[in-house]
Amino acid sequence: MSAALRELHDSLLSEEGGTLATYIPELARVDPALFGLALATLDGRVHAAGDADVPFTLQSISKPFVYARALADLGLEAVLSRVGAEPSGEAFNAISLEPGTGRPSNPMVNAGAILTTSLVSGDGPAARFERIRDTLSAFAGRRLELDEAVLASELETGDRNRALAYLMRNAGALRCEVDEALDVYFRQCALLATAEDVAVMAATLANGGVNPRTKEAVVPGPVAEHVLALMASCGMYDGAGEWLLRVGLPAKSGVSGGIVAVSPGQFGIGLFSPRLDVRGNSVRGVAASRVLAERFQLHLMHYPGRTAPVIARSGDARTLRSRRLRRRAERDVLHQHGGAIHLRALQGDIEFAAAESVLQSLGALPGKARWLVLELEGVTRLHPIAARMLDAAVAELGGRGIAVVTGDVHRRGLLPHASVEHASVEEAQEECEDALLARHGALLSPDTVLAWEAHDAWAALDEEARAALAAALPVRAYGRGERVLAQDGEELFLVLSGRVGLYGPGVRGRRLGSAGPGTAVQRPGQAGGGLVAELSTSGRVLGAAQQERLERERPRVLARLWKWLAGVGRE
């Protein structure tokens, strides 16, 4: 990315069109060759090229951020009643006041910005300015300093802004002293920031108002939303419409040569090059924005192509099973009645339209469905509205007698109407299978111990083997949480009650599955992993010594047992 920015920077160095701003004399003293680009991502990284660390005064780039402060302080309606939201279609310093009320057309032209600044909470101009400086600093993630020379120059030459303020005061729109309003406004314009700072400020807007580097929530999400909408419609002065058409990004330019642009939900861009076009926008900044938007397909209205289906997998428990090892009696019931348990695995970014299509699928669940396992692990983003829609559907399914069970601990609480939430989809599936088995009388209660004669291995043995094994295999009981087959020389555990969890290698090994009564587990191989009693568990253990004895005395018994085991979990 940094390389792409450097390449873009170098390719635009030959662009020497435009002229320095002159209406603030101090701005005419800046090096016209400066050119910096920066891009800040929402995970807090900043890429930069050229003079991205050279500070310049924010000028009009301050406007959207001060507007954000005013919106957060007063609320949208109160602010809209004082400053409009309509593009004026005129230059930045136009006198576009509403006839009668003097209400300026929008907060991105000077009149509207002066009025917006006056709306920020604060006891007097000094406090108000500090509040604004604190806000802009929080957007940037570092304390922004004031350029006293530029400020002095603005104060000296800001007659047109004084005129605008007096007109607004005359009309009753501006309700504080003109000097007080202008003092704060000139100061905010003279705050110094670099292209990198501006990129982070933009990324904070892109990130719902949360600074992606400091993680500070600078303004609430809806405020960021409103500021971006206003930048989209009014940000680029009288070229705003064409900007939105060609570049398609909310943006704001300043007369010192800076541009802030935002790719909502993606990142922020800061640009700085002092030579301006006739509209007062940085020539290289506009050119760089166009190239970035086109090369990286950032246009707000860009259609990114078809998405994969939101439902990645779907089926019922006749084919989609948990990884619980189950005895034949249970497998037979699941095979026959598994149509009562449905699974839908969702994936990707689920917004309104995707949720709507999930709802269609859930509405079509067959009448005999009783459980729905909703797998959310592949969901990369569940928009709040989609979560609400899904939860409403879950509640409705509940009314139809279908219990909805979700996995994935990270999504816990998103679907309050889901009847049970598990740490993983695997466990959710196991739970539903258990419930179905219970309904058909095929589930052993946790404290029932399966008779040895009812163990699946029994059926695989002949009379001789049955008699021999019953005597050879000692019974062992494990408390919940105990390691199974923990002693040296223990090779095989035939489960008669409870449940054994199978975990991958490592201290926090992933749960790979589990084994219930009537099945068996072996000691893990050299790759490690663990067997843990997930309930009070009992069964019969085959140790190395018994195995040797059987091998000597009754090898056929052992052959039968191992053959049975070689098939467990493979049917």
Active site residue 185: yes
Tell me which residues in 475-504 interact with a second copy (CB under 8 A): none
Query: Coil, strand, or helix at residue 217?
Result: strand
Minimum distance from residue 177 beta carbon to a second copy (Å): 29
One-letter amino acid at 45 equals R
Does 227 appear as a known binding residue?
no
Q: For residue 391, state whether it binds a second copy (rule: CB under 8 A).
A: no
Print the binding letters for residues 51-90 with a second copy: x by CB under 8 A, - otherwise. Answer: -------------------------x---x---xxxxxx-
**Nearer to a second copy among residue 181 and residue 520 (C-beta):** 520
**What radius of gyration, in Å, describes the C-alpha atoms of the chain?**
35
**Nearer to a second copy among residue 86 and residue 130 (C-beta):** 86
Tell me which residues in 353-372 interact with a second copy (CB under 8 A): 353, 356-357, 359-360
- Distance, in Å, from the CA atom of 224 to the CA atom of 266, rounded to the nearest integer, reads 14
What is the total residue count of the chain?
571
Q: For residue 230, state whether it binds a second copy (rule: CB under 8 A).
A: yes
Choosing from 46, 63, 96, 333, the catalytic residue is: 63
Active site residue 237: yes
Q: Please give the structure tokens belonging to residue 370.
A: 């009783």
**Nearer to a second copy among residue 1 and residue 438 (C-beta):** 1
Does 154 appear as a known binding residue?
yes
Active site residue 215: no
Among 384, 399, 413, 441, binds a second copy (CB under 8 A): 384
In contact, 529 and 473? CB cutoff 8 Å: no
Active site residue 503: no
Q: For residue 409, state whether it binds a second copy (rule: CB under 8 A).
A: no
- Distance, in Å, from the CA atom of 305 to the CA atom of 261, rounded to the nearest integer, reads 24
**Nearer to a second copy among residue 170 and residue 307 (C-beta):** 307
Q: For residue 281, state whether it binds a second copy (rule: CB under 8 A).
A: no
Among 68, 200, 206, 541, binds a second copy (CB under 8 A): 206
Among 13, 278, 385, 423, binds a second copy (CB under 8 A): 385
Active site residue 67: no
Residue 342: phi, psi to the nearest 5? -105, 150
CB within 8 A of 247, min separation 6: which ones?
A: 261, 289, 290, 293, 299
Among 55, 315, 339, 378, binds a second copy (CB under 8 A): 378
Q: For residue 563, state whether it binds a second copy (rule: CB under 8 A).
A: yes
Q: How many CB atoms lie within 10 A of CB 461?
A: 19
Query: Of 13-21, 282-290, 434-442, 553-561, which segment contacts a second copy by CB under 8 A?
Result: 553-561
Q: For residue 347, state whether it binds a second copy (rule: CB under 8 A).
A: yes
- Distance, in Å, from the CA atom of 216 to the CA atom of 66, rounded to the nearest integer, reads 17
Q: For residue 190, state whether it binds a second copy (rule: CB under 8 A).
A: no
Q: For residue 511, state whether it binds a second copy (rule: CB under 8 A).
A: no
Q: For residue 242, state whether it binds a second copy (rule: CB under 8 A).
A: yes
Sheet holding 341-350, edge to edge: 311-316, 341-350, 371-382, 403-406, 420-421
- Distance, in Å, from the CA atom of 526 to the CA atom of 555, rounded to the nearest integer, reads 26
Q: What letter does residue 59 receive in the DSSP assignment?
A: G
Q: How many CB atoms lie within 10 A of CB 314?
A: 14
**Nearer to a second copy among residue 255 and residue 565 (C-beta):** 565
Cα separations in angstroms, 390 against 123, 415, 535: 47, 7, 33
Minimum distance from residue 491 beta carbon to a second copy (Å): 9
The closest alpha carbon to 354, from 379, 317, 329, 324, belongs to 379
Q: Please give the structure tokens belonging to residue 182.
A: 């202008």
Q: For residue 289, state whether it binds a second copy (rule: CB under 8 A).
A: no
Does 207 appear as a known binding residue?
no
Among 95, 291, 296, 419, binds a second copy (CB under 8 A): 296
Q: For residue 562, state whether it binds a second copy (rule: CB under 8 A).
A: yes
Burial tier of 159 (Cβ tally within 10 Å: 0-12, 13-18, 19+)? exposed
Distance in angstroms between the alpha carbons of the first and the last residue of the chain: 50
For residue 183, is it left (φ>0), alpha (ψ between -120 and 50) or beta?
Answer: alpha
- Distance, in Å, from the CA atom of 255 to the CA atom of 382, rounded to the nearest integer, reads 41
**Nearer to a second copy among residue 24 and residue 52 (C-beta):** 52
Q: For residue 571, state whether it binds a second copy (rule: CB under 8 A).
A: yes
Q: For residue 271, state whether it binds a second copy (rule: CB under 8 A).
A: no
Among 244, 259, 283, 425, binds a second copy (CB under 8 A): 244
Among 304, 366, 367, 441, binds a second copy (CB under 8 A): 304
Residue 178: phi, psi to the nearest 5? -60, -45
Q: Could you list the active site residues?
A: 60, 63, 185, 237, 255
